[in-house]
């Protein structure tokens, strides 16, 4: 349909919307997307994500005038054709394609240039080597056969960073990291796509496995095992120990420990055979005993206190006075100043 101007476009759109039964040039569900995987094979897909409404058949051709040929290698899902695997393809000519429903009606007619639909394989074997002055060299490999056609994005950060740093590299399989801190732990990823010299595409490869460099921090699995095993086990052991200590104090001490022997049995001799002579009973020699005897004598002095009532309170050094015996007979002890015998005994 040729577009002649605004009124014509509008009319055409109206006709498309209103006209019933007109063969649609592509329903929203039916759209074919072809991807050339790493330059090895092509998959054209119309229904692997969303179940197609028909059991479509797929026809494709590579030159403008060549005859369409049907797909020889369908990929099916729930018994319906959903994609086609193509191993013989032409990257540099446009590819035409038809989807036909079970009545043979063409429901999709598309063309695309496969050279823009190449998705390189995922980079692998990331290797880090030390250069001088805290510089690193990251190298990697690509499964794609024309590495000169690739552009790579290196994504890296240290364990102290929150954001990744990104660098783009064209036509090279190495990247020099300007400055790294060996006290940190770095993580690197690389992904690739066909560069602007070879294609117009945003089909990035999958990102590589991570590569690490620097001081190893405790691995997350070790941390979780500490959390899930060591901490509960530790708590359990502490609980057991506490229980044991409690048992020992409460019961085990009484039941298992032998009773403290009555000392009177052993001391009996001291009071019977030795008549209370401790040194003889203990077997200490006479000379030693002599040295313990005091070799000086002090006069016993009697302290007298003048009582307010005029009498005297005599504090004799005799033990009887202190041990709560009856106080020395006083002529008339005034009740106020007299020490309470009960208070003295306690």
Ligand X SMILES: *[C@@H]1O[C@H](CO)[C@@H](O)[C@H](O)[C@H]1NC(C)=O
Contact residues toward ligand X (CB under 6 A) are: 55, 57, 74, 79-81, 125, 127, 130, 141, 182
* Nearest CB to ligand X, comparing residues 8 and 182: 182
Provide, rounded to whole angstroms, the least separation between the CB of residue 182 and ligand X.
Answer: 4
Provide, rounded to whole angstroms, the least separation between the CB of residue 8 and ligand X.
Answer: 40
What's the full length of the chain, in residues? 346
CA distance 39 to 147: 12
* Nearest CB to ligand X, comparing residues 201 and 208: 208
* Nearest CB to ligand X, comparing residues 62 and 74: 74
Instruction: Please give the helix or strand (H or E) that residue 281 lies within, else none.
Output: helix 278-282
Instruction: Please give the helix or strand (H or E) that residue 269 lies within, else none.
Output: helix 263-271
Instruction: Please give the helix or strand (H or E) that residue 192 lies within, else none.
Output: strand 185-194
Provide, rounded to whole angstroms, the least separation between the CB of residue 226 and ligand X.
Answer: 24
Provide, rounded to whole angstroms, the least separation between the CB of residue 71 and ligand X.
Answer: 8
CA distance 243 to 250: 10
* Nearest CB to ligand X, comparing residues 138 and 198: 138
Radius of gyration over every alpha carbon of the chain, rounded to an integer in angstroms: 53
Hey, what are 91's tokens? 């990257």
CA distance 227 to 220: 10
Provide, rounded to whole angstroms, the least separation between the CB of residue 29 and ligand X.
Answer: 16
* Nearest CB to ligand X, comparing residues 66 and 125: 125
Contact status, residue 211 vs residue 125, Cβ threshold 8 Å: no
Provide, rounded to whole angstroms, the least separation between the CB of residue 63 and ligand X.
Answer: 24
Q: Which residue has tokens 């028909």?
A: 54
CA distance 340 to 338: 6
* Nearest CB to ligand X, comparing residues 25 and 125: 125
């Amino acid at each position: 349909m040729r577009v002649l101007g605004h009124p014509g476009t509008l009319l055409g759109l109206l006709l498309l919307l209103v006209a019933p039964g007109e063969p649609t040039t592509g329903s929203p569900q039916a759209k074919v997307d072809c991807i050339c995987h790493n330059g090895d094979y092509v998959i054209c897909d119309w229904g692997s994500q969303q179940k197609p409404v028909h059991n479509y058949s797929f026809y494709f051709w590579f030159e403008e005038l060549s005859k369409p040929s049907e797909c020889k290698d369908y990929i099916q899902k729930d018994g319906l054709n959903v994609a086609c695997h193509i191993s013989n393809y032409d990257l540099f000519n446009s590819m035409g394609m038809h989807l036909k429903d079970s009545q043979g009606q063409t429901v999709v007619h598309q063309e695309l240039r496969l050279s823009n639909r190449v998705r390189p394989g995922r980079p692998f074997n990331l290797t880090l080597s030390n250069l001088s002055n805290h510089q690193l060299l990251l190298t990697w490999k690509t499964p794609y056969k024309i590495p000169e056609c690739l552009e790579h994005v290196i994504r890296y950060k240290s364990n102290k960073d929150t954001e990744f740093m990104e660098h783009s590299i064209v036509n090279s399989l190495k990247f020099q990291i300007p400055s790294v801190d060996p006290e940190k732990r770095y993580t690197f990823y690389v992904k690739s796509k066909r560069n602007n010299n070879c294609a117009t595409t945003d089909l990035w490869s999958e990102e590589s496995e991570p590569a690490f460099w620097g001081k190893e921090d405790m691995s997350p699995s070790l941390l979780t095992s500490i959390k899930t095993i060591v901490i509960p086990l530790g708590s359990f052991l502490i609980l057991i120990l506490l229980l044991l200590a409690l048992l020992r104090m409460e019961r085990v001490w009484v039941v298992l420990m032998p009773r403290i022997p009555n000392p009177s049995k052993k001391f009996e001799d001291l009071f019977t055979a030795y008549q209370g002579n401790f040194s003889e009973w203990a077997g200490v020699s006479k000379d030693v005993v002599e040295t313990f005897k005091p070799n000086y004598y002090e006069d016993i002095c009697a302290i007298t206190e003048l009582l307010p009532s005029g009498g005297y309170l005599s504090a004799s050094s005799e033990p009887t006075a202190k041990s709560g015996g009856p106080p020395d007979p006083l002529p008339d002890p005034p009740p106020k100043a007299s020490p309470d015998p009960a208070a003295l005994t306690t």
